[in-house]
Structure 1
Amino acid sequence: MRVEQLAINSQCTSHRNLEEALDAYAAAGFRNVEPHLNLIKDWLADGHTVEEARRLFESRGLRVVASSQLEVICFGSPDARMPNLRANAENARLIRELGADKMIVGTDGPEQNSVEALGLVADAVRELAEVTDDTGVEIAIEFNWSPIVRSLQSAVRVAELADHPRVGVLFDTAHYHVTPTKLADINRGSVRYIKHVHLDDMPDKPADLTHRDFDRVLPGEGVIDLPEIISALERNGYDGFFSVELFNAELWRLPAKEAARRCYESLVRLCS
């Protein structure tokens, strides 16, 4: 992992305004940012334009590399799914206008989980990719942000069934830790679908009793063998961004610049 691959997800400094957050990320040393779309949309709602948002990032030497907001609704009637499809398509266009090319999504689930139901997830995500062909934005399915896509294996199965070059997987080390995903699953066959990576660590307690979000700690402060995972990803062909994503109450209580500094320093220690 190289310094130029490091990124920060704005969830690490939750409840901050966009300008304060970007000042903090730039001061910490980050050059790549993964802002949650709520942060962007709140700023736009205050009367700003997308072009002004782009200049806000550029003036601080930052670029947007990915973003997220919504799940993809895959089940139910077409009439019920259509507003969600339109909203996700609008998000993809906003992400493209901000200069990024990755949109991370979750999914809903069926009444009864089954391998066959993964085909309906694949159909819905492929449809989203097709209606956003003009953006070039890649759709990364985040496993465990879904009641059915619960592991790297199931996310890869969906990507395989979707059979679209812009449909892939978001790999998150916290989800890796708390799901049936194993190190051996990070192989050439799965990594070819991984579009983006979230890095975080987890405390020393049973994985099945660990909350997938709110128990996250800074990389290096938990029990996940992050160097081993990063090595497996890179050995099998991953060369994208590594974005720290934490939902950590202790970090949220800190000034944004201090929280961002701690995030950056925890990542730099993992760089080769």
Structure 2
Amino acid sequence: MTEPFTDRLSINQITVKSWTFEETVRGCARHGIGHVGAWLDSVAEIGVDKAAGVLADHGVSVSSVCRAGFFTGNSPDRSWAGRADNERAIDMTARLGADVLYLVCGGVADDRDLPAARAAVRDGLAELVPYAAERGVRLAVEPLHPMMCAERSVIVTLDQAVELAEPFGPDEVGIAIDTYNVWWDPRLAEGIERAGDRIIGYQVCDWLVPQPHPVFGRGVPGEGVIDLRGITRAVDATGYDGPIEVEIFNEKVWSSPPDEVIRVIKERFAAGVLG
């Protein structure tokens, strides 16, 4: 049975990395969680049609799909990058019955020209929007933490993300907020307000102190220093009332039994995130 606070809780697949897509869906259903954040590689492993069937069989919906983008061509793993891969990501998102596809915009290209890299992101997004809109998929621009500017995204603030999205309709391009990436921003409150009804994705985790790793330093809500309740209140004040994904990259979490990880997340979510 779904508990009162879990109607908004979503478990991103990466949080329970040792599980397959099917195991993640089954696990969420078993714990009364109705949403899952999907990763394309994991979906591709079992096939998108089978993945959609598993979701339907267990009454679980996809809160977001990760990921497309890398418009600068700079991807640390060189996967899901390029026009053909981005279009395939959109097709898979639509076939899963989802409508939010996260974009990781891409890092600084080999020429080290940061302004040119940001221009490439603008151009790449403009080229992709019509294809996504025809298939009912909204593209979610996700600003990443500045320490990821070199490899993963030259878009590092909410203001930059909103500026990218503004030339398009809110039903075409929206904003994805991840607390790990934006909590530090001195203009966070203004950025959230400016994003407004463009916010179509919201992910939470905590910032551990000390940071064990520049990518794998995410903690379970309540383990770190981020004011998750305050950020959630600000996001909700814009009118966003959709799923809240818990997305954690952390070797210790990954080595723990996934059912135990979900149990702890559920225990801390109501007070630590919703407040």
Q: Is the 8 A contact 1:213 1:246 kept in 2?
A: no
- Relative distance call for 1:197 and 1:164 in structure 2 (3 A) is closer
Q: How do 1:227-266 residues align onto structure 2 when only pairs under 5 Å count?
A: 227-266=229-268
Q: Which amino acid aligns with 2:23?
A: E
Distance 1:267 1:10 in 2: 17
Q: 1:158 aligns with which of 153, 164, 171?
A: 164
Residue 208 (structure 2) pairs with residue 203 (structure 1): yes
Q: TM-score, normalised by structure 2?
A: 0.83
Tell me the TM-score normalized by structure 1.
0.84
| 3-state DSSP of counterpart to 1:238 | coil
Gapped runs of 5+ residues in structure 1? 45-49, 77-82
Deviation at 1:222, TM superposition (A): 1.1
Structure 1 residue 261 displacement after superposition: 2.0
Q: Deviations over 1:206-255 (max 9, x none)?
A: xxx67553111111121111111011111122222210000122221122
- How many matched pairs? 256
What CA distance in whole angstroms lies between the structure 2 residues aligned with 1:135 and 1:211? 38
Q: For 1:152-210, what per-residue CA distance to the aligned partner results, in whole angstroms no more than 9, with x for missing partners?
A: 121111112456641122110000135x45333344322332210111011234xxx67
Once residues 75 and 52 of structure 1 are traced to their aligned partners in structure 2, the CA distance between those partners, rounded to angstroms, is: 31
**Which of 61, 64, 68 does residue 63 from structure 1 map onto?**
61
CA shift in 2, pair 1:259/1:252, >3 Å: same
SS at 1:170 equivalent:
strand
Aligned 8 A contact 1:8 1:32 in 2: yes
Instruction: Pick one of 174, 177, 181 that aligns with 1:168.
Output: 174
What secondary structure does 1:150 align onto?
Answer: coil
Kindly tell me: are residues 181 and 105 of structure 1, through their superposed partners in 2, closer, same or farther at Cα, counting changes over 3 Å?
Answer: farther
- Partner of residue 126, structure 1: 126
Indicate how the Cα distance of structure 1 residues 210 and 113 shifts in structure 2: closer, same or farther if over 3 A, else same.
farther
Q: Is residue 38–residue 69 contact of structure 1 (8 Å, CA) maintained in 2?
A: no
Matched residue, 1:113: 114
Whether 1:192 and 2:197 are equivalent positions in the alignment is yes
2:77 corresponds in structure 1 to: none
Aligned partner of 1:15 in structure 2 is 18
Instruction: Rate the CA distance shift 1:150–1:183 in 2: closer, same or farther, 3 A.
Output: closer
1:85 corresponds in structure 2 to: 83
Q: 1:34/1:75 Cα in 2 relative to 1: closer, same or farther (>3 Å)?
A: closer
Report the CA distance between 1:58 and its aligned residue. 2.1
In 1, distance between residues paired with 2:204 and 2:223? 12
Higher relative contact order (CA 8 A, sep 6+): 1
Please provide the CA RMSD for this pair: 2.5
Q: Which residue number in structure 2 is paired with residue 47 of structure 1?
A: none
Match of 2:42 among 39, 47, 69: 39
- What is the SS of the residue equivalent to 1:221? coil
| Counterpart in the other structure of 2:78 | none
> What secondary structure sits across from 1:192 in the alignment?
helix
The residue identity in structure 2 corresponding to 1:9 is: N
Name the % identity: 26
Whether the 8 Å contact between 1:34 and 1:67 is mirrored in structure 2 is yes
For the 8 Å contact 2:102–2:140, the answer to whether it is kept is yes
Contact 1:202–1:217 (CA under 8 A) maintained in structure 2: yes
8 A contact 1:9–1:34 mirrored in 2: yes
Residue 247 of structure 1 aligns to a residue whose secondary structure is coil
Pick aligned residue for 2:29 from 21, 26, 29: 26
State the Cα distance separating 1:22 from its structure 2 match: 2.0
